[in-house]
Structure 1
Amino acid sequence: MLQTLTVSASWKRLVRFVPRSDRTKVLIGQPQDSHIDVGIALRKERDVAVDVFSGSSVLSPGQDTGNDAIIDRVLSPLASSEVGTIRCIGLNYKQHAAEVNLALPTVPTVFMKPDTSLGDPWPTPIALPKITQVDDCGDYESELAVVIGKTAKNVSEADAMSYVLGYTACNDISSRTSQFAQSQWSFSKGFDGACPIGPALVSASLIPDPSKMRVRGLKNGEVLQDCGTDDLIFSIPKLISFLSQGTTLRPGTLIITGTPAGVGVVRKPKVTVKAGDEFHVEILPYIGTLINLFANEQ
């Protein structure tokens, strides 16, 4: 069960989804059950009822219309047109730095993903590119994602949290052979669909301290990653402030904050993601589970 908290915000958790009643529409709304893990419920083929909002985006959701709908298919909370270039942080957990035998960075390591890398939760499959299939080098990275809610530039750490709209789960899917062949990571981590997020966007008012979250990654039911966000090297306020220096972060900017220890490439034996594998990114409290099923690009 997800924990709940009474807050003054007009919404607590939002989903972007296709309703069962009309599969030509995309709606925004709030799950009626505040305890529900949307990803797990849908995977178990349970009905997820949503109070429909008047807006067409989580950036401007509008108000509760008084209507409800059942989710047919959940989408990433943000559309690809809303995220711009996705900001990504590498090597940002102490335990992960230890497992790859690297010194702790003194400034955040930043790389980019294009908006075409944004992916939806299950049941939409995540395609493993042909280049990744050649030598079975696909890997998972469970991550907490931050969504910026208002234009930010040159913000201080002290003010940074006031720019956060909410949080969701992300899988920073990587092609390790391509990654290790280059000093820059945008190509190897920027393939189509390589940044699935969701299923829900959780209001920042529910998570006043994002350093108190728990991130787990499970492949086919086996726990491979399990770490608190208190292990972050650079905090969420530090990352937002750093990324905004000299740079305009527009509403909808997606920041993925790094992965904890347990990635497949350093395991013995090595663990990869293949067609047919199911991976869960679970972030508690409140956020729940991002589920992705992998398929081969044809």
Structure 2
Amino acid sequence: MKLVSYKLKQKPSTLRVGFVMDDKIIDVQEAFLQLPGHSTEMEYMLPSEPNAFYKIGIPAIEKAKKAYTYVMENQVEEISFHRDEVYVATPIPEPSKIICVGKNYAEHAAEMKSEVPDYPVLFAKFANALVGPEDQIVKNSKTNKLDYEVELTVIIGKEASNVTQEDALNYVAGYTIGNDGSARDLQKRTPQWLQGKSLDNSTPVGPWIVTADEVGDPSNLDIHSRVNGELRQSSNTSKLIFDIPYLISFISSLMTLKPGDMILTGTPDGVGFALNPPQFLKGGDKVQLEIEKIGRMENEVIEGEFHY
């Protein structure tokens, strides 16, 4: 099941959670209310607002799956919208944590002139950096070296503290695509990377969240990026130095992960910084990211300091 955050284009509306069915978006809460014998009591309802939905985590997704199955089997049309009628946003606009992993492919570590790390290299992003699959990446005037990084992104589905690697995937709600927008000049001017990693409107995440059951094993997914149609990154998640179960176990030993938290798991080689000569993003560029079993996302770059 593919879950999106959407709102209608033609009339004022707030973001709601929907699922994708062919060329339609179906409202998850409205679909849930179609179930025979449903109760309108609040404890049995699904919230429609994305942040609230994902804070419930896996129980909300299980209810959404029941609604999805019912709507598919009964062809309920009145709660659906054609894809052209809606704007699709980043799936979780305000996660409590956005945790990123650096140097998690050996080839990328090598191209960045770095040693393979003994432990996962962790840093944070914040919600101000997030944009969606239909938004533009803003190249802030403070940077001349904005780079792209395609990354498999994990969405946590239930509270995780000190989980084992063997049990770690049971804490995953789903997966999506992240573009870890990186201002290399800002990133590298101090030992800490944060200032180069959290510029406003620099990190697309989307186009949807694919539930964990549909993705299955995340350790063998092809992963690619293209800029203006030119292939830049091409790898497979089997090449991760620290795989998804290890990362969840490691991070949850340091901090409690909450439902809706995101983990951007690292990028393969082929980033613009490491090309000869380096090729950084500029206004008008189109960055396309693709991960097997998840889908494709494309964003245009604009110059400026635009805030949504």
Q: Which residue in 2 is equivalent to 1:76?
A: 90
**Uncovered stretches (5+) of structure 1, i.e. residues with no partner:** 1-11, 34-47
2:107 matches 1:95:
yes
Paired amino acid for 1:131? K
Q: 1:288 is matched with which residue: 286, 289, 295? A: 295
Alignment of 1:26-105 (within 5 A): 26-33=15-22, 48-54=23-29, 55-56=47-48, 57=50, 58-59=53-54, 60=60, 62=64, 63-64=67-68, 66=76, 67-71=79-83, 72-80=86-94, 83-105=95-117
Paired amino acid for 1:175? A
Q: Which residue in 2 is equivalent to 1:125?
A: 136
Q: 1:184 is matched with which residue: 177, 192, 211? A: 192
Tell me the distance in 1 between the aligned counterparts of 2:159 and 2:80: 32
Q: 2:2 is matched with which residue: 13, 33, 36? A: 13
Q: Is the 8 A contact 1:21 1:70 kept in 2?
A: no
User: Hey, which bits of structure 1, 4+ residues long, moved more than 4 A?
Assistant: none
1:282 is paired with a residue whose SS is: strand
Q: Which residue in 1 is equivalent to 2:286?
A: 278
**What do residues 138-177 of structure 1 show as CA deviations (whole Å, max 9, x unaligned)?**
1101111000011111111111110000000010001111
Tell me the distance in 2 between the aligned counterparts of 1:50 and 1:263: 34
Tell me the distance in 2 between the aligned counterparts of 1:51 and 1:120: 19
Paired amino acid for 2:28? F
Q: Which residue in 1 is equivalent to 2:177?
A: 169
| TM-superposed deviation, 1:97 | 1.7
Tell me the distance in 1 between the aligned counterparts of 2:254 and 2:91: 27
TM-score, normalised to structure 1, is 0.85
**What do residues 84-140 of structure 1 show as CA deviations (whole Å, max 9, x unaligned)?**
131000000121122223221110000011121111112x212111201xxx21110
TM-score, normalised to structure 2, is 0.83
- Alignment length (residue pairs): 266
| TM-superposed deviation, 1:185 | 0.8
Q: Is the 8 A contact 1:280 1:289 kept in 2?
A: yes
Aligned residues: CA RMSD:
1.5
Cα 1:155–1:288 change in 2 (3 A) is: same
Select the structure that is richer in helix. 2
Paired amino acid for 2:87? R
Paired amino acid for 1:17? Y
Q: 1:214 is matched with which residue: 222, 236, 239? A: 222
Paired amino acid for 1:218? R
Percent identity for Structure 1 against Structure 2 = 36
Q: Is the 8 A contact 2:139 2:304 kept in 1?
A: yes
Q: Is the 8 A contact 1:137 1:177 kept in 2?
A: yes
| TM-superposed deviation, 1:20 | 4.2
Tell me the distance in 1 between the aligned counterparts of 2:272 and 2:12: 37
**Uncovered stretches (5+) of structure 2, i.e. residues with no partner:** 30-46, 55-59
